């Protein structure tokens, strides 16, 4: 079990695994929205409808891989910390987004091979899903950049050395 947690945390990569995987649905689902809009504007015909369909599929598959890595990262946050609640909202929003895109996919599965435009309901689901996804990504970024979740894998001294080597503009060390 310990090896599985290490794998999901990305220890084998020496980098958190969750932020690597989440970029796939973050690209695919807004991409599907763009393809949906192009289909509404009669650009691309069936090829664009198929691209949208497969972007949704690929995003759903990647989200299934992102969930356990995110849950493992989130489970390491103390419940009394603000980042825990933000992580909970992030997770719930992502669940809603994945469900919207799963429903969206289900609505398309019978027609995507021949359709030249995406139905209005599917377009609406793509737009709502993408808007919620952006909100969720904001919360994920807040967890990392405001609260340092999954950042502090190295000691502060080691991070400082890395930053100094990169010639970062660092504040003086406390007490110096």
pLDDT-based confidence at residue 145 (cuts at 50, 70, 90): confident
Task: Say how far apart CA 145 and CA 29 lie, in whole Å.
Answer: 24
pLDDT-based confidence at residue 166 (cuts at 50, 70, 90): confident
Q: What is the pLDDT of residue 153?
A: 52
Q: What is the pLDDT of residues 74-98, one digit of tens each?
A: 988 999 999 999 999 999 999 999 9
* 94 neighbors 136 (Cβ within 8 angstroms): yes
What residues have CB less than 8 Å from 32, skipping those under 6 apart?
51, 52, 53, 55, 56, 59, 101, 104, 126, 130
Task: Say how far apart CA 4 and CA 52 lie, in whole Å.
Answer: 33
Q: What is the pLDDT of residue 175?
A: 64
Q: Say what the pTM is.
A: 0.84
pLDDT-based confidence at residue 9 (cuts at 50, 70, 90): confident
| Rg of the chain (C-alpha set) | 20
């Amino acid at each position: 079990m310990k090896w599985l947690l290490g794998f999901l945390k990305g220890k084998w990569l020496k980098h958190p695994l969750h932020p690597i995987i989440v970029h796939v649905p973050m690209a695919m689902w807004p991409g599907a929205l763009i393809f949906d809009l192009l289909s509404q504007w009669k650009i691309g015909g069936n090829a664009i409808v198929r691209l949208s369909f497969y972007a949704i599929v690929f995003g759903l598959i990647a989200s299934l891989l992102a969930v356990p890595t995110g849950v493992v990262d989130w489970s390491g946050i103390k419940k009394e910390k603000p980042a825990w609640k933000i992580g909970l909202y992030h997770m719930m929003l992502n669940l809603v987004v994945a469900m919207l895109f799963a429903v969206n996919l289900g609505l398309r599965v019978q027609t995507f091979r021949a359709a030249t435009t995406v139905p209005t309901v599917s377009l609406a689901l793509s737009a709502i899903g993408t808007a919620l996804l952006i909100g969720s990504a904001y919360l994920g970024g807040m967890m990392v950049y405001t609260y340092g979740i999954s950042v502090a894998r190295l000691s502060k001294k080691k991070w400082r050395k890395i930053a100094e080597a990169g010639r970062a503009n660092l504040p003086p060390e406390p007490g110096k």
